[in-house]
Amino acid sequence: MMAGLKKILPPLIILVVAVLVVTGLAMSRPQPEQQPLSEPPVPKIPAMIAEPGPHQLIVSAQGTVQPKREIALATQVSGQVVSVADLFVDGGFFKQGDTLLQLDLRDYKIEVVRAKSRVAEAEQVLATEQGRVFQAKREWRDLGNKAGNALFLREPQLKAAEAAVEAAKADLDQARLNLERTTIKAPFDGRIRTIEVNLGQYLSAGMKVAQIFAVDSAEIKLPLTASQSELLALPLMPNQEVTLPVTLSTKAGDHKWQGYMSRTDASIDPRSRVMYGIAEVDKPLESNPPLMVGSFVNAEILGRTFDDVVAIPRMALYEKDNVLVIGDEHRLKIQPVSVLQHRGEAAFIRGVRPGAIILLERPGYVVTGMKIDPVIIDPENPRVQLP
């Protein structure tokens, strides 16, 4: 037994000594100092102070300039073109009543002479019949029958002779009218888009001779979405007299023209689901520079005036229809707003109280209630320029 104890005792002593050494080292290790908890730094974000007020919106659109009146000029009688005016060329200008083409009128002069002859013959027959009626009245005796009396007094014959005179005069008027129509004149002040006939050509009645348009007014069809239409006081009801000022400009914006919108198309386009507003420009060719037909222009339409509107940079919007505002104790809040319009780099919103602090940029992360140190920026500062 003593021999077994001698074998176990040395390892046991070593184990006890090791435990004592480890415990001593652990107790002698210095304790770490307690560090106070610190909050992360408050981010500094550019902001503006909301000042809601009335604002008249402007709606942008684009369209192509077209003449208000354009027709296909056609001949009403047949004949050969014997002369053309110098202005009868593509792009030629003309005044109302100017002669554009002259057809051969000899056949129509002959027809006028013949019609005059028929009038004279009908008048001679009428005069003869009137004499017979006078003679019949002198010899008249009551036959006791109304129809017989009328026949004896030659009343039917007299009516037929009078009708023949009227018919002959109508033929004469038609012949004179056809003679007049051999001269093709301009129906209004305008310009020739294209000519279809020329000197020496034989024309049949109803044949197109030129495509012409008036120069007194031009119009532009401007497509408007449903949201854009809501921003305009469009003339939709009968007898609703509304004229909206419209500023037209080229793509580069170096030339501008003033017009107005007084009507819309009768229906919404079923393919694009847009409504077309019709803008008009009076005497477009007399402006400097002239507003040419076919020009593609940008249009700015003066819209309705809304109250309590705030203009902010477009980048200040959060998730399309929210803004980030600063609440009590500089805590971040997400404020829903009504976005009236995006225009360039600006957005026009409603639903923000006066004096509200709106962040112009987003912090690195957005958490409702986080602290923000707003840096108020003057709207005139170019870095956050507002319209």
Q: Edge-to-edge strand order for the sheet containing 202-203?
A: 183-185, 99-103, 79-84, 202-203
Express each pLDDT in 178-200 by its tens digit.
999 999 999 999 999 999 999 99
Cα–Cα distance, 14 to 29 (Å, whole number): 23
Which whole number is the average pLDDT over 162-174?
93
Return the structure tokens found at 224.
Answer: 């408007």
Would you identify the CATH topology of the domain 60-68+215-305? Elongation Factor Tu (Ef-tu); domain 3 (2.40.30)
Find, among 188, 196, 191, the residue nearest to 92 by Cα. 191
Which of 253 and 352 is assigned the larger pLDDT? 352
Instruction: Say yes or no to pLDDT of 121 above 60.
Output: yes
Cα–Cα distance, 276 to 269 (Å, whole number): 8
| Angle between the N-to-C axes of helices 155-181 and 106-139, in degrees from 0 to 180, rounded to the nearest 10 | 170
Instruction: Compute CA distances 103 → 107, 199, 203, 217, whole Å.
Output: 10, 9, 9, 31
Cα–Cα distance, 176 to 246 (Å, whole number): 49
Find, among 78, 67, 22, the residue nearest to 203 by Cα. 78
Number of Cβ within a 10 Å radius of residue 73: 19
Q: What is the rounded (10 degree) CA torsion for 268, 271, 277, 278?
A: -110
Check residue 41 and give its pLDDT: 80
Q: What is the 3-state secondary structure (H, E, C) of the chain?
A: CHHHHHHHHHHHHHHHHHHHHHHHHHHHCCCCCCCCCCCCCCCEEEEEECCCEEEEEEEEEEEEEEECCEEEEECCCCEEEEEECCCCCCCCEECCCCEEEEECCHHHHHHHHHHHHHHHHHHHHHHHHHHHHHHHHHHCCCCCCHHHHHHHCCHHHHHHHHHHHHHHHHHHHHHHHHHHHCEEECCCCEEEEEECCCCCCEECCCCEEEEEEECCEEEEEEEECHHHHHCCCCCCCCCCCCCEEEEEECCCCCCEEEEEEEEECCCCCCCCCCEEEEEEEECHHHCCCCCCCCCEEEEEEEEEEEEEEEEEEHHHEECCCEEEEECHHHEEEEEECEEEEEECCEEEEECCCCCCEEECCCCCCCCCCCECEEEECCCCCHHHCCC
Which whole number is the average pLDDT over 74-81?
96
Confidence of residue 130 (pLDDT cuts 50, 70, 90): confident
Check residue 24 and give its pLDDT: 64
Confidence of residue 362 (pLDDT cuts 50, 70, 90): confident
Would you identify the CATH topology of the domain 105-181? Helix Hairpins (1.10.287)
Cβ-in-10-Å burial (0-12, 13-18, 19+) of 342 comes to exposed
Residues 92/192, Cβ–Cβ less than 8 Å: yes
Check residue 383 and give its pLDDT: 44
Would you identify the CATH topology of the domain 44-55+307-384? 2.40.420
Which whole number is the average pLDDT over 58-81?
95
Could you give the percent of the chain with pLDDT greater than 90?
A: 55
Which of 12 and 127 is assigned the larger pLDDT? 127
Which whole number is the average pLDDT over 83-105?
96
Check residue 384 and give its pLDDT: 39
Find, among 359, 354, 355, 383, the residue nearest to 372 by Cα. 359
Express each pLDDT in 6-60 by its tens digit.
666 666 667 666 666 667 666 666 666 666 656 678 888 899 999 999 999 999 9
CATH of 77-103+183-214, one of 2.40.50.100, 1.20.1420.20, 3.40.50.920, 3.10.450.750: 2.40.50.100
Residues 354/49, Cβ–Cβ less than 8 Å: no
Q: Is the pTM of this model over 0.95?
A: no
Return the structure tokens found at 106.
Answer: 């000899």
Express each pLDDT in 197-233 by its tens digit.
999 999 999 999 999 999 999 999 999 998 898 888 8
| Residue 255: HSE in the Cβ half-sphere, 13 Å Cα cutoff | 11
What's the chain's average pLDDT? Answer: 85
Domain map (residue ranges) of the chain: 44-55+307-384, 60-68+215-305, 77-103+183-214, 105-181
Return the structure tokens found at 255.
Answer: 């030339």
